[in-house]
């Protein structure tokens, strides 16, 4: 029977009972749904990983700037920093998330995951593990099916659009997807994947979408870095056996309710939050002056 993608807890339970991973269930289901082979789907996901890697490379160019000039170069700074509060691979996760997001802002090619505004978080989670050989490309591509399945559940039961649910729906969803992917890649059980997703989404609940001048730049680029850090945190907790007191599906429902309660000024209209600050208004005015 085809999977409905309306409950992530149910997906985790089905995988747990079948003694397999969430991604294996989803991959088999999607092959049936799209009337193609699992190999073809994996090849397509690997091609998406290639696009993500190319975007990261472009975004790491220290000279890269967006058309507005608001963003660019942050990834290169983090990648080249000597002082490391976040040692080793952790800083690399942040740099890659920034890089892909800055590539997006500079009109580079990206994979929306789930949206363009949150496109740095999944690559930020996965690519560093590929770069240092911790996981193979095949493993990474497979695990992304777990993240994609969670994204489908969120899209079905809540929203992945900032205009509907605020940033929690975009970067929050991406961070939860990344947490589930990381947990599976690090050998976590399906139940732990669901806990990781729940923890990640909980920690970004209520995050508003308040882009300065309406552009996918400030604060979006930095929220991609914090989104991947949040995913790493959630995966680490879940792998250690920490459980979310609220099940994943109910956190998703809470996210939907919070999104509906959120005023329109905080849902991508650029009329509230950081967009409405003194500096935010100045930048908008400045950019509109250039446009005319």
| Cβ proximity to other proteins, 54 vs 205, nearer residue | 54
CA-to-CA distance for 285 and 267, rounded, in angstroms? 20
Minimum CB distance to other proteins, residue 252 (Å): 14
Minimum CB distance to other proteins, residue 68 (Å): 4
| Cβ proximity to other proteins, 155 vs 254, nearer residue | 155
| Cβ proximity to other proteins, 217 vs 249, nearer residue | 217
| Cβ proximity to other proteins, 236 vs 265, nearer residue | 265
The DSSP call for residue 99 is: H
Minimum CB distance to other proteins, residue 265 (Å): 15
How far the first Cα of the chain sits from its last, in Å, is 56
Minimum CB distance to other proteins, residue 80 (Å): 23
Task: Note the residues at the interface with other proteins (CB under 8 A).
Answer: 5, 26, 30, 33-34, 41, 44-45, 48, 51, 66-68, 103-117, 119, 122, 144-145, 147-149, 151-152, 155-156, 160-161, 163, 177, 213-217, 270, 287-288, 290-291
SS3 state at 156: helix
| Cβ proximity to other proteins, 145 vs 238, nearer residue | 145
| Cβ proximity to other proteins, 38 vs 236, nearer residue | 38
Minimum CB distance to other proteins, residue 163 (Å): 7
Radius of gyration of the chain (CA): 18
CA-to-CA distance for 63 and 280, rounded, in angstroms? 24
The DSSP call for residue 171 is: I
Name the residue among 235, 79, 223, 220 with its Cα closest to residue 143: 235
Token pair 């399945």 is found at 149
Is the CB of residue 108 less than 8 Å from the CB of residue 55? yes
Minimum CB distance to other proteins, residue 289 (Å): 11
CA-to-CA distance for 207 and 255, rounded, in angstroms? 10
């Amino acid at each position: 029977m085809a999977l409905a993608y309306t409950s992530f807890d149910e997906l985790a339970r089905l995988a747990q009972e079948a003694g397999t991973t969430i991604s294996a269930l989803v991959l088999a289901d999607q092959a049936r749904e799209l009337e193609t082979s699992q190999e073809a789907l994996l090849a397509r996901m690997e091609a998406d990983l290639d696009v993500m890697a190319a975007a990261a490379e472009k975004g790491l160019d220290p000279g890269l700037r967006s058309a507005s000039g608001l963003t660019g170069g942050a990834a290169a700074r983090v990648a080249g920093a000597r002082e490391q509060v976040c040692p080793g691979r952790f800083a690399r996760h942040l740099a890659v998330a920034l890089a892909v997001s800055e590539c997006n802002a500079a009109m580079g090619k990206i994979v929306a995951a789930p949206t363009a505004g949150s496109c740095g978080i999944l690559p930020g989670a996965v690519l560093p593990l590929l770069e240092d050989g911790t996981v193979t490309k095949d493993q990474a591509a497979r695990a992304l099916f777990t993240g994609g399945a969670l994204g489908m559940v969120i899209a079905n039961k809540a929203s992945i659009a900032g205009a509907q649910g605020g940033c929690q729906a975009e970067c929050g969803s991406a961070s939860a997807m990344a947490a589930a992917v990381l947990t599976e890649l690090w050998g976590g059980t399906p139940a732990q994947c669901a806990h990781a997703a729940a923890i990640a989404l909980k920690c970004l609940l209520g995050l508003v979408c308040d882009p300065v001048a309406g552009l996918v730049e400030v604060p979006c680029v930095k929220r991609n870095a914090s989104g991947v850090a949040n995913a790493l945190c959630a995966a680490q907790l879940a792998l250690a056996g920490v459980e979310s007191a609220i099940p994943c599906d109910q956190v998703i429902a809470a996210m939907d309710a919070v999104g509906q309660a959120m005023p329109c000024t905080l849902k991508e209209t650029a009329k509230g939050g950081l967009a409405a600050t003194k500096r935010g208004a100045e930048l908008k005015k400045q950019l509109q002056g250039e446009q005319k």
